[in-house]
């Protein structure tokens, strides 16, 4: 079978690229080993797909070259994707921090992409494995479970390693290795952090408790929800900082953002000195968390028993709790994979590899990782669109 374009991976990036190339009259084949296209879209955003963010900006993407993503993000913006969502009659809402979700279901986004692919004449092969890729004089031979196909352009859109249970593989990195294309080491990101037995013993009784917090690492800070779990810490602020955190280092947690806990406690001491220090703090924090903080600060008794210095020490802990994670929950639960195909190896405008003509990488397999909140889908749409204009 002879084609203009073969795309491997029918996720967000692969489908967008297929639509654009098909609209340009290219003969396009999209291959995926999964049973259905867009499986990650289906489960994303709690089933409602946080499909983009109103506040897309290059500094909200991590990469060895943070400027790389700029070109694609500028050429196919969040507004361009919103226009497609609107044209398809999909209703949506902003949840928080510019995050846009479908009102009804993530399946609406998949239907939009499948409809556009059908209209653009794209052929979709599901449950099809790719055994081998070979460079030829005019393009590539791709050996698949349904036989051999030939193409001029080959696009790798196979995503990262996150959630192997859903079919994630290291396929894209293997293809990069085959063609000597540089890769930035990968690691799980947007992922819950885990703690030592010792620290977990303190935290485990709080499992299920959530607070609004500011979580920081090395000058970067996120003010969002934080959730105590049986394994450690999760919630948006923790997922966000996991992309920045480095092994062996501590994160800092402010459990009472925007309030001056020492002042609050000192004032309360004047009017209600007889209440226990734990209950006094529980006016600001969930009760179990107040218990943990007072015990870690080593303060007991009533408010009146505490010196101002004790109250300041306790408040210091509440506002700047230093915690040293031992690791992350790994690819099993990570939303994304950091690292991947080095942006140095790619043309920022087209996503074509500089050294292998006709070979493209798009989406999460590339060393571009967005913040939590629709940034990663926007990168998939933008990079897929960019390649789709030229393949």
The contacts of residue 319 (CB under 8 Å, 6+ apart) are 254, 255, 256, 261
- Cα–Cα distance for residue pair 182/86, rounded to 1 Å: 39
For the bound state, the minimum distance from the C-beta of residue 56 to ligand FDA, rounded and expressed in Å, comes to 11
SS3 193: strand
Q: Is 335 in the site for ligand FDA (CB under 6 A)?
A: yes
SS3 277: helix
Q: Is 28 in the site for ligand FDA (CB under 6 A)?
A: no
CA distances from 339 to 85, 173, 342 (A): 30, 10, 8
Q: Is 171 in the site for ligand FDA (CB under 6 A)?
A: yes
Would you say 213 and 225 are in contact if contact means Cβ atoms under 8 Å apart? yes
Q: Is 9 in the site for ligand FDA (CB under 6 A)?
A: yes
For the bound state, the minimum distance from the C-beta of residue 310 to ligand FDA, rounded and expressed in Å, comes to 44
- Cα–Cα distance for residue pair 237/253, rounded to 1 Å: 10
For the bound state, the minimum distance from the C-beta of residue 375 to ligand FDA, rounded and expressed in Å, comes to 6
Q: Is 159 in the site for ligand FDA (CB under 6 A)?
A: yes
For the bound state, the minimum distance from the C-beta of residue 5 to ligand FDA, rounded and expressed in Å, comes to 15
Q: Is 39 in the site for ligand FDA (CB under 6 A)?
A: yes
Would you say 159 and 363 are in contact if contact means Cβ atoms under 8 Å apart? yes
For the bound state, the minimum distance from the C-beta of residue 19 to ligand FDA, rounded and expressed in Å, comes to 13
Instruction: Determine which residue in the list 102, 285, 336, 386 makes contact with ligand FDA, applying CB under 6 A.
Output: 336
For the bound state, the minimum distance from the C-beta of residue 53 to ligand FDA, rounded and expressed in Å, comes to 8
Binding mask 82-121 for ligand FDA (x = CB under 6 A): ----------------------------------------
For residue 103 the two structure tokens come to 């009102």
Q: Is 380 in the site for ligand FDA (CB under 6 A)?
A: yes
Residue listed under structure tokens 């703090």: 281
> What is the per-residue burial (b if ≥16 Cβ within 10 Å, else e) of 35-56?
eebbbbbbebbeebbbbbbeeb
Q: How much of the chain is in helix, strand and coil states, percent to nearest 5?
A: 35, 25, 35
Instruction: Determine which residue in the list 306, 350, 376, 382 makes contact with ligand FDA, applying CB under 6 A.
Output: 376
* Segment interacting with ligand FDA (CB under 6 A) among 12-20, 147-155, 223-231, 340-348: 12-20
Starting at the edge strand that comes first in sequence, how are the strands of the sheet with 92-94 ordered? 50-53, 99-102, 92-94
Q: Is 63 in the site for ligand FDA (CB under 6 A)?
A: no
Closer to ligand FDA by Cβ: residue 216 or 374: 374
| 44 backbone dihedrals φ, ψ, rounded to 5° | -70, 155
Q: Is 40 in the site for ligand FDA (CB under 6 A)?
A: yes
Distance of CA 133 to the CA centre of its chain: 29
Best CA proximity match to 258, nearest among 230, 289, 223: 223
Instruction: Determine which residue in the list 26, 33, 60, 161 makes contact with ligand FDA, applying CB under 6 A.
Output: 33
* Segment interacting with ligand FDA (CB under 6 A) among 34-42, 113-121, 179-187, 304-312: 34-42
Instruction: Determine which residue in the list 1, 34, 111, 272 makes contact with ligand FDA, applying CB under 6 A.
Output: 34
Q: Is 49 in the site for ligand FDA (CB under 6 A)?
A: yes
- Cα–Cα distance for residue pair 139/27, rounded to 1 Å: 14
SS3 289: helix
Q: Is 122 in the site for ligand FDA (CB under 6 A)?
A: no
Q: Is 328 in the site for ligand FDA (CB under 6 A)?
A: no
Task: Name the residues that contact ligand FDA, by CB under 6 A.
Answer: 8-14, 31-34, 39-40, 43-45, 49-50, 130, 157-159, 162-163, 167, 169, 171, 335-336, 363-364, 374-377, 380
């Amino acid at each position: 079978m002879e084609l203009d374009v073969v795309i491997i991976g029918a996720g967000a990036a692969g489908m967008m690229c297929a639509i654009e190339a098909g609209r340009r009259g290219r003969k396009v084949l999209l291959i995926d080993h999964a049973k259905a296209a867009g499986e990650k879209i289906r489960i994303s955003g709690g089933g409602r797909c946080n499909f983009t963010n109103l506040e897309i900006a290059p500094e909200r993407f991590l990469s060895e070259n943070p400027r790389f993503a700029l070109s694609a993000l500028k050429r196919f913006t969040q507004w361009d994707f919103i226009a497609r969502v609107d044209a398809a009659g999909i209703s949506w809402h902003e949840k928080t921090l510019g995050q846009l979700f479908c009102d009804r279901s993530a399946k609406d986004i998949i239907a939009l992409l499948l409809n556009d692919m059908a209209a653009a004449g794209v052929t979709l092969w599901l449950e099809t494995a790719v055994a081998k890729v070979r460079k030829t004089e005019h393009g590539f031979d791709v050996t698949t479970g349904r036989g051999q196909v030939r193409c001029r352009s080959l696009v790798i859109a196979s995503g990262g390693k996150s959630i192997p249970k859903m079919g994630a593989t290291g396929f894209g990195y293997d293809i990069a290795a085959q063609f000597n294309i540089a890769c930035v080491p990968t690691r799980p990101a947007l992922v819950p952090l885990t703690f030592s037995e010792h620290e977990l013993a303190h935290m485990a009784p709080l499992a299920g408790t959530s607070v609004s917090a500011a979580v920081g690492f090395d000058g970067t800070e996120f003010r969002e929800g934080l959730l105590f779990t049986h394994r450690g810490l999760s919630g948006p602020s923790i997922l966000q900082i996991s992309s920045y955190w480095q092994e062996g280092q501590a994160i800092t947690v402010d459990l009472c953002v925007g309030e001056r806990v020492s002042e609050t406690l000192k004032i309360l001491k004047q009017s209600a000195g007889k209440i226990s220090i734990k209950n006094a703090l529980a006016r600001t924090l969930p009760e179990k968390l107040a218990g943990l903080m007072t015990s870690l600060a080593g303060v007991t008794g009533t408010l009146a028993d505490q010196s101002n210095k004790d109250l300041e020490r306790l408040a210091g802990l509440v506002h700047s709790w230093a915690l040293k994670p031992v690791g992350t929950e790994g690819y099993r639960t990570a939303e994304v994979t950091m690292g991947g195909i080095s942006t140095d190896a790619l043309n920022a405008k087209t996503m074509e590899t500089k050294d292998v003509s006709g070979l493209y990488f798009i989406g999460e397999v590339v060393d571009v990782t967005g913040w939590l909140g629709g940034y990663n889908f926007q990168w998939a749409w933008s990079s897929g669109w960019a390649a789709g204009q030229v393949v």
